[in-house]
Structure formats: C-alpha cells, structure tokens
C-alpha cells in the first residue's frame, strides 16, 4: 500500500537530518532527503539509502530544485552549522537562510503542504534575559562574527511569517538549543563532539571558564519535537531544548568518566566564552505536549558509543603534499587523520592547516580546479569526488594541476 505521507527533508543527510529521516521512515512515511553533502557523508546516509521508501537527491537547496512530486510536509533543515563553519562561510550561510528558504517555502506553497523551518537559539544573540521565552526579541549584533548565521536564521523566520500571512502557507518555526548525540561527525567542533573525540584519543579537555553553561538537547528528543511540530498547525516560533543548563566543566568531567580516558584541565575564562542560552519551553509543553526525556548521562553514553564506533570504522589517512606546501606546516606536525571520505579528510587537512585551504578547497568546500587528489593512480575526480569512501589505510597524494598551484 502506498504511504499516506511523503515528506521532503532539506539537509536530510546531516546529523539531525538523518535522525529525522529514520524516525519518519519508522512511522511509515515516504521520505525524500535533499542535501549538498558539503559537510560530509555520514554513515547513517548509507543505511537510509537501502530503505525502499527513502530517496536521496544530492542538490544545493540555494539552487532551484526541479520538483514535481506532491508532498504532505516539508522539513527545512538545510544550512551550514557550527560556529567555525558559519564564520568561515557567512555568504553560503546567508544564502541557505534566504534563497534556500524561499525554495523550500515555494514547494510547500505549491502543494499546500505543512512546512517546519528549523531556526536557531542564535536568534537571541547575547541574551539579557534568562531563560529566553519566544517573546524575547534578542540582543544581536548584525555585523558580529556570528552575524551571517544569526541574520540567516532571523530572515528565515521573517520569510516563514511572510509566507503564512501573504500566501496562507502552513508554516511552523522551531528554535533548537545545542542538539547533540550519536551521528555527530568527529570533525564537528561543537562542545559535546569535541570533548568526546578528545577523550577517546586520551587527550586533554581544556575548559576555559568551567562555570559557563550550555543547554544540551539529545537528538532523539529534538526529533520528537520536530515531528510533533509537523503534526500540529502551531506557527511558532517554539523553543525546543533542555531547560536545565549544564556547566561546561561538569560536561567535560562526565565525558572523561564515561569514556574512561582523557583528562580535564581548567583554564582561565575566555574573554568571550559564548552566550549562555537557556530556553523557556513552556510553549512547547502546552502546545505540543513535548519536553525532553533523555538525561544528560544517558545522552552522553549513547554519544560516546556512537562516536567510538564511527571513529573505529574510519580509514587511517596519510597525506603526501608538494614540498613547497610542506614548508608552510610547522616542522614535526602530523599529516594524518581518521576519515571515512575524501571530503572529510581534506576538511581535516585544511582545518588543521588553514594556510593550505586556498590550495585545496573552495569556499563552498569543493576541490579547487588547480589541485588534483589521487588514491594510488586514481584521481578522485574519476571516482566519487569528495564523497569517495575510505577504508583501512589510505594515502592521499595532492599535486598541483598546473603551474603555480
């Protein structure tokens, strides 16, 4: 029997997106995920593609999508994410929040579908009110280091409201607060993933400002909130997150205790340690009947297990680079990492040694035309490009494609 629901998920190959697609499939829906894969290819995507009711389309949502299939709902998650990435790619971030959001809204408008748009707690900026109710309009610097992401999400919300008012589109806005859980990439720089990766490597977890707090919401709780929003006609915005803040120092000690390795070093508080945001979730409770149910201990244990399995399944990648490039890297520094795709490996290389970034990756995370990457005698351009999977021990050779590379 044909499923009664067909749900389009933009950003469906990402950390939250893959969890959402899995949950929607579990309830019997047909699911189509659209993603550009610029953030990498999660192992969960390979599992999803084997499902008979799942379809994946590799596409950048900031470009018009040739879409002619009716849908019952659209879940719009597509956006660069993480402080480091959105600072590096403010233009792409703003394009996802503006043009990408228009493209998603137009599909919902065409098929009279419910659309849930994922905003961010970043719309509150550096809040002067604790906790933040949805009526708080925020304290945002439109030209600050996070402005590309903050203004993209604020514009996303404005577009959602405009489409509801002018065209009658059934829009709903959610504001997530620090979602974490298994399936996060080891290259993710956000606090939970960064701490787990360091502890698994037996490294030191440096905490600058242990008293700083974060609201941490386990991914399956967040996905349950998204689906509850989809099933409602609530316009929002609604905060979806954990109302109890967690001190960063306490989180570090919990991760080390759970992993069984690593150490914690408390440093001086950073001059700008990031905004301490904590949601008021009264509206989510009253309108959706939603609240988080996973304890931090349970969530961290599941995250550690998932990330340990992911890291152990990754290839050990070494890099051969031109001698001229090697002189730009501090002597004795390693040129090796763990990764499950070429894209992930090259992202590690350029994140670790930013001086190499212009020689390797474009601002959108694609291989630049003046550099070739080889696995043995095979150019990755003749394989699956940045999505080429890696297993075992792999050597990537980087060579200029032309003089001056």
The residues assigned a catalytic role are 149
CB 34 within 8 Å of CB 59: yes
Q: Report the C-alpha gap between 314 and 327 in whole angstroms.
A: 28
Judged by DSSP in three states, 345 sits in: helix
CB 80 within 8 Å of CB 96: yes
Taking Cα atoms as reference points, which of 141, 103, 105, 102 lies closest to residue 122? 141
Structure-block tokens of residue 327: 């002189």
Which residues, listed in sequence order, are joined to residue 7 by a DSSP beta bridge? 31, 73
Q: Measured in whole angstroms, how far is the alpha carbon of residue 401 from the centre of its chain? A: 32
Residue 355 per-residue DSSP state: G
Q: Report the C-alpha gap between 135 and 237 in whole angstroms.
A: 9
How close are the terminal C-alpha atoms of the chain, in Å?
A: 56
Q: Report the C-alpha gap between 354 and 399 in whole angstroms.
A: 17
Characterise 17 by phi-psi region: left (phi > 0), alpha (psi -120 to 50), beta (else): alpha
- Dihedral through CA 79, CA 102, CA 12, CA 3, nearest 10? 160
Structure-block tokens of residue 27: 């309830």
Which residues, listed in sequence order, are joined to residue 91 by a DSSP beta bridge? none
């Amino acid at each position: 029997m044909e499923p009664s629901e067909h749900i389009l998920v933009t950003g469906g190959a990402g950390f939250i997106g893959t969890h959402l697609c899995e949950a929607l499939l579990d309830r019997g829906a047909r699911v189509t995920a659209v993603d550009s894969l610029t953030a990498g290819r999660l192992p969960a995507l390979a599992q999803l593609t084997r499902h008979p009711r799942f379809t994946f389309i590799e596409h950048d949502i900031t470009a018009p999508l040739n879409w002619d299939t009716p849908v019952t709902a659209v879940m719009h998650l597509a956006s660069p994410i993480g402080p480091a990435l959105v600072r590096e790619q403010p233009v792409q971030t703003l394009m996802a929040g503006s043009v990408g959001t228009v493209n998603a809204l137009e599909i919902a408008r065409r098929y009279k579908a419910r659309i849930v748009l994922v905003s961010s707690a970043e719309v509150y900026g550096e809040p002067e009110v604790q906790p933040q109710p949805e009526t708080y309009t925020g304290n945002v610097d439109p030209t600050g280091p996070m402005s590309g992401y903050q203004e993209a999400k604020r514009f996303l919300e404005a577009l959602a409201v405009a489409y509801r008012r002018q065209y009658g589109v059934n829009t709903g806005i959610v504001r997530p607060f620090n979602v974490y859980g298994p399936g996060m990439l080891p290259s993710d720089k956000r606090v939970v993933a960064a701490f787990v990766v360091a502890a698994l490597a037996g490294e030191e977890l440096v905490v600058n400002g242990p008293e700083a707090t974060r609201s941490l919401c386990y991914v399956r709780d967040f996905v349950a909130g998204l689906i509850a929003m989809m099933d409602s006609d609530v316009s929002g915005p609604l905060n979806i997150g954990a109302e109890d803040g967690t001190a960063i120092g306490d989180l570090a000690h919990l991760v080390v205790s759970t992993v069984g390795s690593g150490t914690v070093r408390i440093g001086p508080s950073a001059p700008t340690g990031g905004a301490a945001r904590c949601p008021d979730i009264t509206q989510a409770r009253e309108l959706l009947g939603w609240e988080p149910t996973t304890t931090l201990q349970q969530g961290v244990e599941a995250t550690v297990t998932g990330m340990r399995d992911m890291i152990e399944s990754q290839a050990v990648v070494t890099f051969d680079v031109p001698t001229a490039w090697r002189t730009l890297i501090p002597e004795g520094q390693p040129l090796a990492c763990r990764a499950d795709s070429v894209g992930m490996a090259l992202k590690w290389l350029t994140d670790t040694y930013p001086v190499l970034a212009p020689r390797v990756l474009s601002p959108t995370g694609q291989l630049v035309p003046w550099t070739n990457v080889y696995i043995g005698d095979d150019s990755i351009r003749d394989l699956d490009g940045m999505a080429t999977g890696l297993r075992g021990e792999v050597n990537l050779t980087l060579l200029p494609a032309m003089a001056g590379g």
